[in-house]
Amino acid sequence: MTSVLYDVPGPRAVARNRILAVLTVLLVLGILGFLIYRMAVTGQFDPQKWYVFTFSAVWAGIFKALGNTLGAFALAAVLALALGFVLAIGRLSEHAWVRLPVTVVIELFRAVPVLVFMMLLYYGLPVLGVRMDPYWAVVLGLMAYNGSVLAEVLRAGVESLPRGQKEAGYAIGLRKSGVMRFILLPQAIRAMLPVIIAQLVVTLKDTALGFIITYPELLYYAKQLTSQQGRPILQSAFIIGGIYIVLCLILAWVAKVVEDRTRRSPKVRGIAPPDAGTDPRLHDESTVTEVIAMQRGAGRFDAGGMPPTQP
């Protein structure tokens, strides 16, 4: 038996896959058990190793560092998305004098590591007589790198759409800006939303690089905790790492909610008619004009295939 993409495994293949799955689970459990055993032997579960986390001042410091991390991430994410849109539109321009410089900027920002950006802004600018706060060095470094990556993501999303989408927009009288705004970008964003969210997760985790330029975020505070009584190195890593994991899970959940609401949005699904026969998008013979008019809120169509006239 075969499917469209691959051969369906037979009984022997199914049995082999189950055996491999069981062995993999046993291997992972064995590794985790060994790590827990070594931690117990070396006294990592001793109360004195966790003693520092019994103070409210320590948790107040953790929450303050968390606020600094989220503050840098929030602004960097917004600026990176805005920069990504601008660079993506410039990269898709039909004018070489716009497209070529934007391409150079994108490739330059993508090639330079985020940490190098931050260090240039924080340590390099003072050589020129300009001092920058660590917060802005972190934000601008994250904006430059992630904005260039998001620009390529959006460009790939637009170019993956059928060429007829753009031609149909020109055919109904839309300008280039209208075609990009009403037809191409909305579809590209929905198609590339998982990649965009994944890049935002990378942005969140890259805020940890700010500790190298003394920005007081979570990792910087964790480094300070390791100098306390008992040197709780692994304990601090577990606490701070757990916070990062929770933040990434929350961001993934928000992305899932946004994606589900986008799919149910009237701009995507149109206005649900009493019967499916009046929705032009459900029929192959419908014209592109009818579909776009429905997506832009023109409502259902009459029997002649035209939107109803407004009173």
Share of the chain above pLDDT 90, in %: 41
CB 121 within 8 A of CB 132: yes
Q: Residue 5 pLDDT > 70, yes or no?
A: no
Is residue 11, in this structure, part of any structural domain at all? no
Q: pLDDT tens for residues 15-43?
A: 899 999 999 999 999 999 999 999 889 88
Residue 270: exposure state from Cβ atoms within 10 A (0-12, 13-18, ≥19): buried
Is residue 46, in this structure, part of any structural domain at all? no
Look at residue 308 in the predicted model and tell me its pLDDT: 52
Look at residue 232 in the predicted model and tell me its pLDDT: 85
Q: Do 216 and 258 fall within a single domain?
A: yes
Q: Do 252 and 274 fall within a single domain?
A: no
Q: Do 117 and 259 fall within a single domain?
A: yes
Instruction: Report the mean per-residue pLDDT for the chain.
Output: 81
Rounded to two decimals, the pTM is: 0.75
Q: Among 44-58, 191-205, 256-270, where is mean pLDDT lowest?
A: 256-270
**Nearest by Cα to 79 from 149, 137, 151, 140:** 140
Q: Do 211 and 271 fall within a single domain?
A: no
d(CA 297, CA 13): 51
CB 292 within 8 A of CB 172: yes
Look at residue 267 in the predicted model and tell me its pLDDT: 54
- Domain around 217: 57-264
Q: Do 107 and 168 fall within a single domain?
A: yes
Look at residue 123 in the predicted model and tell me its pLDDT: 92
253 token code pair: 């959940």
Q: pLDDT tens for residues 203-228?
A: 999 999 999 998 999 999 998 888 77
Q: Residue 294 pLDDT > 60, yes or no?
A: no
Look at residue 162 in the predicted model and tell me its pLDDT: 81
Cα torsion angle, 84, 89, 92, 98, sign? negative
Phi/psi at 303 (5° precision): -65, -25
Q: Do 274 and 175 fall within a single domain?
A: no
Which residue has better confidence, 35 or 277?
35
Residue 5: exposure state from Cβ atoms within 10 A (0-12, 13-18, ≥19): exposed
Q: Residue 280 pLDDT > 50, yes or no?
A: no
- Produce one character per residue of 188-203: b if its CB has 16 or more CB atoms within 10 Å, e if not: bbebbbebbbebbbeb
d(CA 137, CA 146): 14
Angle in degrees, 0-180, between the axes of helices 134-159 and 56-91, rounded to the nearest 10:
40
Which residue has better confidence, 8 or 214?
214
Is residue 142, in this structure, part of any structural domain at all? yes
Number of domains in the chain: 2
d(CA 41, CA 151): 50
Look at residue 255 in the predicted model and tell me its pLDDT: 78
d(CA 37, CA 32): 9
Q: Do 170 and 115 fall within a single domain?
A: yes
Is residue 173, in this structure, part of any structural domain at all? yes
Is residue 172, in this structure, part of any structural domain at all? yes
H runs (alpha helix) in the chain: 11-41, 47-50, 56-91, 96-111, 114-119, 134-159, 163-171, 176-178, 185-206, 218-225, 233-264, 266-269, 288-295
Q: Do 235 and 298 fall within a single domain?
A: no
102 token code pair: 């934007």
Q: Do 276 and 243 fall within a single domain?
A: no
Look at residue 303 in the predicted model and tell me its pLDDT: 46
92 token code pair: 């898709």
Q: Residue 299 pLDDT > 50, yes or no?
A: no
Is residue 8, in this structure, part of any structural domain at all? no
Q: Do 131 and 161 fall within a single domain?
A: yes
Q: Do 125 and 96 fall within a single domain?
A: yes
DSSP state of 235: H
Is residue 16, in this structure, part of any structural domain at all? no
Q: Do 225 and 298 fall within a single domain?
A: no
Look at residue 195 in the predicted model and tell me its pLDDT: 85
Is residue 3, in this structure, part of any structural domain at all? no
Q: pLDDT tens for residues 109-167?
A: 999 999 999 999 999 988 888 899 999 999 999 999 999 999 999 888 888 888 777 77
CATH code of the domain in which 158 resides? 1.10.3720.10
